[in-house]
Structure 1
């Protein structure tokens, strides 16, 4: 074979592969024979679900029946309440001076993560020696927090407003004021000095989650989690949509269940977990379960289109997987409607239990070329979530 012929053949093969990869409504399943197709979902409104095997899930049922669904909200996380003093500066026999020919001061920089946790600071100390020419002066972020003339042996202590701290880097400057007209000598202080800040605040966990609008109003909600108290003896509080729903110490390393009134549960929700009393908790296995009423399904149908070749390949099998049984339904049957509106009622073969797959035989007597429709009907009080709708010739 010539090089030209080889090039043409390779090009044709690539073109054929591209046509197959972008072709329309039939999804080949990769069976050994190469046969098999999956009907495309209907254009109707189908109820979404959070469970199943990853395909469109819809509900067929009758009557009002309570159902529930669960959401995993977060991987393990910690909440704590911090209450402690932090020493930012501590000096023994610190010497500071200021005069015409001498300026000796001490500068200390320290970091504050967030000032919302700062409750204030304290400056304290004792004068070991001084010539008393001027005053002892201390500034925080260029704001004077202490300025006083003192003698040997004097002690001092003053509170510092939390408003003087800043997020990020803070600077403390310790020094003396000028000796004034005494040009020959500077003001000198030798002192013990300490500067601390008091911090108090919560490390909390905030999370948002949503619930499908067709499941609101909910009958009730429920948080389920495990909590390990790692320090302190305070409580754990939970707020849902700004409502306090829990504020106590949960049993250590045991499953905790917190029920929530259905009126608090919304389509868009916000939950906040906090600790108090210098306590720390490690939470895991956090889920939110909500209970709601299932009603009769709307547009509980599927449609699919068959080509002439598809019809010629019949008989085939329609498979339906039940992902969940809700309430107490007693039977399920289907109306298969051909394009000419001829209807055939069929009963799927199989056991109506969660996880089971039911089957219906498709023949030229109940389907035809064109768009066919399957309508679902249920008896009893309840229904079924269906997670797969698949045909094999």
Structure 2
């Protein structure tokens, strides 16, 4: 496999290309590299490769002509890849795709970036190695180069190594141990000393699943899981993240369609469906808030039907879901109850389908690491402004980038809870 690397700092690659497995692979002809400096294709006496940006602003932009001449000088450029923040995130799947190419040309940007017409004229594939800022594309190019070349035959020496590494199966790798068997009171897990290869394989798979769920739950969404994997994950105890999230369905003060502030009636489906969402995701609690005595009595009758009445025998799953529902007169009563249960003041978050701006669901996940979060869901036409003004934060609407944004509150609750927690429960 051959890599062409376009860079204004070719010396950056001297040591990484010559040491370790990469150096051995080059010596054995498994991989070869060519370094092309765009400065060699500049026409002025200063060998300039950058210029000031049109429209003003700080920094400089890599000029189009030297880069195009550099690319055109390559007899076989193969796949053209530009390392840029504008590209999709590079991952193991991308590495496996690139590993099938015979020639890849990596273009390393510098300064404020490359003239946008370069990609349009060459059809180069953009790639980003992560959501962080680098001095240039050289470090990113090394990540791509190493991830791709280690997938080549005979690169690793032991071909099984590439199959059992982190991300190879879509999961993080299991923990490894070596001698001594015990150190400072920490012993190697007994299963690894058993000699039972089936048990060891099962243990390692479970450890990979556990580590992935704890550290990178987003990977589980794209990983093929067996029924046994799913049963194992289901049997694990839930983390405090889910227990730190509380939901309150607010029936007063809310807005009517005419924009007035009012109290609205409870809805049977809202009670049941949000209760099932809360139970499925292991939330700390689900509250119904209404100051109306007749509505509180109605809610109590509905809940008693499933908790202790005929519904308990007819549908025990529904019984389990509504056990955690609590009726309160107002939001402040909910806040006080959470404070008593957790010993901490909850972070109160308002929701709205209106154009309120607000924070993404991922921001609430970070809040859950610190303590309890109370998510307020408005009935009617949404929470009244006086409620929104008293919240600590407002959640971004579910369909904030589309013109139609009229989900039912139970649908919005399910989507929001899943976006906040996902598979981290």
Normalised by the length of structure 2, the TM-score is 0.22
Structure that is richer in strand per residue: 1
Structure number with the higher helix fraction is 2
